[in-house]
Amino acid sequence: MSNAAAAAQIEKLRREITYHAHKYYVEDSPEISDFAYDALFRQLQDLEAAHPELDDPNSPTHRVGGTPLDSFTKVTHAVPMGSLTDVFNYDELRDFLARVAEQVPDALCSVEPKIDGLSVALNYRDGSFVGGATRGDGLVGEDVTHNLRTIGSIPLTLKEPIPSLCVRGEVFLPRARFHALNARREENGEPLLANPRNAAAGSLRQLDPKVAAERGLDIYVFNLQSADWGNTSAPASHIESLERLRALGFKLITHALLPAKAEPIIAEIERIGAMRDALPCDIDGVVIKLDRFADRAVMGEGTSTPKWAVAYKFPPEQKQTVLRDITVAVGRTGVLTPTAVLDPVRLAGTTVTRATLHNLDFIREKGIMLGDVVTVQKAGDIIPELVCAHPEKRQGNETVYEMPTCCPSCGEPVFRDEGEAAVRCTNGACPAQVARSIEHFASKNAMSIDGLGPQIVELLLSEGLIADTADLYTLTADQIASLERMGEKSAQNLIAAIAASKDAGLERLIFALGIRNIGAVAAASLAHYAGSLERCFTLTAEELCSIDDFGAITADCVVNYFSHPQNIALCRRLMEAGVCTEPKQQPTDNSLAGTTFVLTGTLPTLSRSEASALITARGGKVSSSVSKKTHYVVAGEEAGSKLTRAKELGITILDEAGLLALLG
């Protein structure tokens, strides 16, 4: 084929595929079979491979994922990506509508579901997709163009080549895909993703676009940020702009145009609420915005949110079900935690069968009996919790629940400390506690042994291959490969991960030991103070109290731990196995003494605990809420109300780079 003919053919295939992709992904009404579509796609791939000089980043073939990135680039949004004022009940909504009525007669509102996904901005130049970014802190986000290209419902070429365009949409992982993804992860023994929103965030922040492509993200576009319409006049209202965007090929949020009056708007909110389960994505509320741009100008902008719109947040969804049973699990420190076993109910998009009951006091305070009808809800729409029991619905066969008097794992008697709600098994050799403490030892902020999850720990223990954490370092790949469902490859990976953990450093090692009341931060302080594991054996309570943030209780816990000969023996065996017992970080300066930080949102590379550890290592304090005493707010991706509060108080806001610069 001549070059000119190839170019023409490639052009034709790209146009055809774009047309059919739009039918499939945006309109949901494909005209050709998947098979025929795949055939066109392969034809284009082959031609492009033969003619690399005709490559185009917006060719539909790039949707399956190109080359991975090394890191994300920051981009400043041309139009800031703001947030919305929340209203939590109909009274607050009425207040908003009253303010509108005062200033704008006969206002109209667009009422839209509030998609619980991730906000992105998409940019087009002369009808071609040129890039997109996450919201970040609203002013600066991350360039995730490579992953956005994999989303079938994002047009790479617009139906009209208007000079420039920026739109905003919400990227989400369709619930069905989320469940399929988790089912696969469960099969592979991988950790489950908490909810579709986290899964979408994780997918969009992958450096390798192939991962995002496989996940199958989707988008609803909900706003026109800015545009140069060329010869056409600009739209005068939100709905008009949405219609323009639809004509350009975008997949739009559903919207209703209603008078700005409580009755019709509340009816629409109720309607949207009732069809929540039937939607392909999670929604956490309803957005109500004035429609005409002229009306918006009258209402104006607030400090961080517009005055012409509000987000009505759904109350946590509640349902009634029956408490069938209560099971008890034994934690790392021997605490017995009761869990409700419920008749399955659908709640905020997932099936709930369990809810924590915390302890016996909780059960008594709520007056819960076995067999009761109970109300459950999802707090923050993630973790199911038991709200109350309904004694009026009792049939007479309900029974009072008693905590077991013996540990369900080892059978030894359990104790309840004076003045404490928790019931505890004090048998140090209790299998459940041993299993939990090995899981803790391997966990991310401890020795971070990838692949050593609860199931493997259980198997290693039940096969007698290990009895405690020090035994991990004696395991061989052959032993692991002999376990059920473990292959050669995963056995070798696990051995490598265990070997690598030897180098974790004393900070993590002390945390990994699971000493009561010693979290990751206290463990790091102790490591820096002591300088070696052996020195920890002999520290007195008095010496320990001189460590920053150590009180009498924490000091006692440390002394108590190292007073047990079996704990010392374990530490010695870890040393003999070659586990590093010296601090990784040099105890650093005190340059941030007296400086208070608040962390919010997800930072690009540091986890919350890593960022905290870096700050505290320099004497700084990390606090959980923003006040006038806060010196810096470190804000990451999807920062929430803390950022808003910081802006209101005029507190210096840092991104990760800013924090690292401050840390030197």
655 binds, among ligand AMP, Zn ion, none (CB under 5 to 8 A by kind): none
The nearer residue to Zn ion, 328 or 497, going by C-beta atoms, is 328
Inter-axis angle of helices 656-663 and 608-617, nearest 10: 20
Rounded CA gap, 438 and 517, in Å? 17
- Torsion from C-alpha of 32, 37, 40, 44, nearest 10 degrees: 140
The nearer residue to ligand AMP, 59 or 83, going by C-beta atoms, is 83
Q: Smallest gap, in angstroms, from Cβ of residue 432 to Zn ion? A: 6
Sequence-ordered list of residues with C-beta below 8 angstroms from that of 520, at least 6 positions apart, any chain? 445, 507, 508, 511, 609, 612, 613
Q: Smallest gap, in angstroms, from Cβ of residue 556 to Zn ion? A: 23
Rounded CA gap, 109 and 436, in Å? 54
User: Which tokens sit at 515?
Assistant: 């000493």
Q: Smallest gap, in angstroms, from Cβ of residue 662 to ligand AMP? A: 27
Q: Smallest gap, in angstroms, from Cβ of residue 637 to ligand AMP? A: 12
Q: Smallest gap, in angstroms, from Cβ of residue 496 to ligand AMP? A: 41
Amino acid at 522: A
Kindly state whether residue 407 participates in binding Zn ion, applying the rule CB under 5 A.
yes
Contact region with Zn ion (CB under 5 A), list: 42-50, 130-138, 422-430, 552-560: 422-430
- Strand order of the sheet with strand 652-654? 621-623, 596-600, 632-635, 652-654
Q: Which of 260, 410, 452, 662 binds Zn ion (CB under 5 A)?
A: 410
253 binds, among Zn ion, ligand AMP, none (CB under 5 to 8 A by kind): ligand AMP
The nearer residue to Zn ion, 336 or 579, going by C-beta atoms, is 336
Question: Contact residues for ligand AMP (CB under 6 A)?
Answer: 83-84, 112, 114-115, 119, 135, 170, 222, 253, 287, 311
The nearer residue to ligand AMP, 469 or 600, going by C-beta atoms, is 600
222 binds, among Zn ion, ligand AMP, none (CB under 5 to 8 A by kind): ligand AMP
409 binds, among ligand AMP, Zn ion, none (CB under 5 to 8 A by kind): Zn ion
Is residue 114 part of the annotated active site? The answer reads yes
Sequence-ordered list of residues with C-beta below 8 angstroms from that of 74, at least 6 positions apart, any chain? 136, 140, 141, 142, 143, 655
622 binds, among Zn ion, ligand AMP, none (CB under 5 to 8 A by kind): none
170 binds, among Zn ion, ligand AMP, none (CB under 5 to 8 A by kind): ligand AMP
The nearer residue to ligand AMP, 199 or 368, going by C-beta atoms, is 199
Kindly state whether residue 425 participates in binding Zn ion, applying the rule CB under 5 A.
yes
Q: Smallest gap, in angstroms, from Cβ of residue 561 to ligand AMP? A: 43
Contacts 24+ apart (CB under 8 A), 619-625: 619/548, 619/589, 619/590, 619/591, 619/592, 619/593, 619/594, 619/595, 620/592, 620/593, 620/595, 620/596, 621/594, 621/595, 621/596, 621/597, 622/596, 622/597, 622/598, 623/596, 623/597, 623/598, 624/598, 625/598
User: Which tokens sit at 231?
Assistant: 């010869």
410 binds, among Zn ion, ligand AMP, none (CB under 5 to 8 A by kind): Zn ion
Q: In whole angstroms, how large is the CA radius of gyration of the chain? A: 29
Q: Which of 12, 23, 114, 629 is catalytic?
A: 114
Q: Smallest gap, in angstroms, from Cβ of residue 431 to Zn ion? A: 7
Kindly state whether residue 409 participates in binding Zn ion, applying the rule CB under 5 A.
yes
End-to-end CA distance of the chain: 59
DSSP designation for 353: E
The residue among 284, 296, 239, 346 whose CA lies nearest residue 86 is: 284
- Binding to Zn ion by CB under 5 A, coded x per residue (else -) over 507-536, reads ------------------------------
430 binds, among Zn ion, ligand AMP, none (CB under 5 to 8 A by kind): Zn ion
Rounded CA gap, 518 and 236, in Å? 60
CA distances from 51 to 7, 39, 45, 580 (A): 9, 18, 10, 55
Contact region with Zn ion (CB under 5 A), list: 177-185, 317-325, 380-388, 405-413: 405-413
User: Which tokens sit at 18?
Assistant: 């774009």
- Torsion from C-alpha of 447, 453, 457, 459, nearest 10 degrees: -150
Contact region with Zn ion (CB under 5 A), list: 47-55, 96-104, 401-409, 573-581: 401-409
The nearer residue to Zn ion, 412 or 556, going by C-beta atoms, is 412
The nearer residue to Zn ion, 363 or 407, going by C-beta atoms, is 407
- Torsion from C-alpha of 483, 489, 495, 496, nearest 10 degrees: -170
The nearer residue to ligand AMP, 253 or 634, going by C-beta atoms, is 253
Q: Residues in the site for Zn ion, rule: CB under 5 A?
A: 407, 409-410, 425, 427, 430
The catalytic residues are 114
